Chains A and B, each alone.
Chain A
Amino acid sequence: MALDAIFRDQWGRVLATLVGILGDLELAEDAAAEAFAIAAERWARDGEPANPTGWLITTARNRAIDHLRRRRVLADKTKLLARDLETGPQPPEALMDDAATIPDERLELIFACCHPALALEAQVALTLRTLGGLSTDEIALAFLVPFETMSKRLTRAKHKIRDAGIPFAVPPDHQLPDRLAAVLSVVYLIFNHGWGGGRVDLAAQAIHLGRALADLMPDEPEVFALLALMLLHDARKAARLRDGQVVPLDDQDRALWDSRQIDEGRELLQRALVRGRTGPYLVQAAIADLHLHKPRDWQQIAALYETLARQTGSSIVEMNRAIAVAEIDGPEAGLAILDRLDLGHYRYFHSTRAELLRRAGRDKEAHNAYRRALDLAQTEPEQRYLANRLAETADS
């Protein structure tokens, strides 16, 4: 495996274990960064060690002990064993021979990063930094904020975790459903942010996080369902754009869909389905799956959107139900649902409405709605698509 692939793979694992040992996220992060830098130099020269994870953890731990010795005052504030400070650094091979004996504490770390006492934007940034291994630069770029802003956001969140006593722990059963929902929504938010631009592949990051969660929580159907949902959406990535324009699903070249990813998504969806509980991600994954069939079963899609609307109370879900209803009962039936929604700020509301108005033969209204959608469009491929629709409706 190439070094950067190992790094991406190991960063979250190594960092989580270090937080478990050191009890301080900032200290753990600094130590992990040093260990990865040492590894980049040494492994390139001497080859990769037999147990990369153990090597990285031991090296980072030794670096941390070094730092703590220089800052003795801090030592008593960490969970680091006094014995470690006495015995000093150990050779990287001595501590662990087998990766399986190293406790995986990524779950503890992700629940701390997605703690509700942190602002959502801080949860997202911190999750990408700690579990995803993205640099502050990359996260700033992905969210279009200055480096300084993102750096402050991360530092503040790390200090809050330390000072306010946010636990590194998997929540007890009675809190788990709410807390897990918060974690999943952070991952899905990262995924959706990755749909629009190509600056940093956040969709791949989110899938990576989703896989880690599915590994760590093999009994939670919503975890598989979210991963299935992301895989099924992401499988169409290559077909979504043609000549710099977004392509509607029905016009997409199916040969460009990633069939391996679709199979994997469907398999995960089945695994979630057999567990019986229908959470919002399961319903969304089932809908994503139905959208991949040709012809599409609009009756079922509409019914599932109705279930989802009841679960979430979301107007955007209602908007999607309107699209399915329009396929079954005609555009006017869909428009009747749209008219009840307060989504004037949402760009896809206007493009959806425009499309249904066009199909209903209400071209002038369609033209105005396309113009409104174009005003709100955020990416160039969307703008090109909408500009073409706008021109078409102008002719008629």
Chain B
Amino acid sequence: MQYALLAYSPPENTDRAARPIPGDLAGLLDRPEVTGWARLHADESATTLHNDEGRMLLTDGPFVDSKEYLAGLILIEADTLDGALALAREMLRETRPGTAIEVRPILDGRFRGA
């Protein structure tokens, strides 16, 4: 089986990019069972696209969940946010109305080959 572990952080005042991953956690992330990880920028850097009955609406900020559930995780590469938003929009168009995709930049990460 494969599992996704989703980490949630309390709000913080310090610059997230300037803080290293705690040493013991870094060790755990190096374990062979960990096939990949990504550390995300804080939610202030997020942009959210909503599929509103076929119209793709863009808002500044993270997805605010009400009754939707977290359904997937997609990792992409793009030169700028515009490229990331364009691809997210293309994908979102193929989803059910009410779906949203939050686009969040990755701060740091490591992925093992399949």
Contact = CB atoms under 8 A, between A and B. Distances in A.
Interface of A: 115-119, 122, 156, 159-160, 163-167, 169, 171, 175
Contact of B81 (A117, A122, A156, A175): A117
A165 B105 contact: yes
B29 interface: no
Nearest to A120: B60
B70 to A, nearest CB: 20
Contacts of B78: 165
Contact of A122 (B60, B79, B105): B60
Interface in B82-109: 82, 84-85, 103, 105, 107
B35 interface: no
Contacts of B47: 117, 164
B82 A160 contact: no
A164 B45 contact: yes
Contacts of A115: 81
A13 to B, nearest CB: 23
Interface string B50-93: 00000000111100000000000000001111101100000000
A122 B61 CA distance: 12
B61 A116 contact: no
Contacts of A169: 80
Which interface residue of A118, A159, A164 has the most chain B CB atoms within 10 A? A164
Given A118-B60, A165-B105, A159 B44 contact: yes
A163 B105 contact: yes
Contacts of B44: 156, 159-160, 163
B21 interface: no
Interface size class of B (residues with CB under 8 A): 20 to 34
Given A163-B17, A164-B47, 7 more contacts: A116-B58, A117-B81, A117-B85, A163-B42, A165-B78, A165-B81, A169-B80
B81 A119 contact: no
Contacts of B81: 115, 117, 164-167
B48 to A, nearest CB: 9
A164 B105 contact: yes
A156 B43 CA distance: 11
A107 to B, nearest CB: 16
A167 B86 CA distance: 13
Given A117-B58, A119-B61, A159 B80 contact: no
Nearest to B15: A159
Interface in B23-47: 41-42, 44-47
A159 B45 CA distance: 7
Which 10 A-B residue pairs are closest in the complex by CB-CB distance? A167-B80, A163-B45, A119-B60, A117-B47, A164-B45, A163-B41, A165-B81, A165-B80, A164-B81, A164-B105
A165 B82 CA distance: 8
Contacts of A116: 58
Contacts of A166: 80-81
16 contacts: A117-B47, A117-B58, A117-B81, A117-B85, A118-B60, A160-B60, A163-B17, A163-B41, A163-B44, A163-B45, A164-B45, A164-B81, A165-B79, A166-B80, A167-B82, A175-B82
A118 B85 CA distance: 13
Contacts of A159: 44-45
A152 B85 CA distance: 25
A159 B46 CA distance: 11
Contacts of B103: 164
A116 B103 CA distance: 13
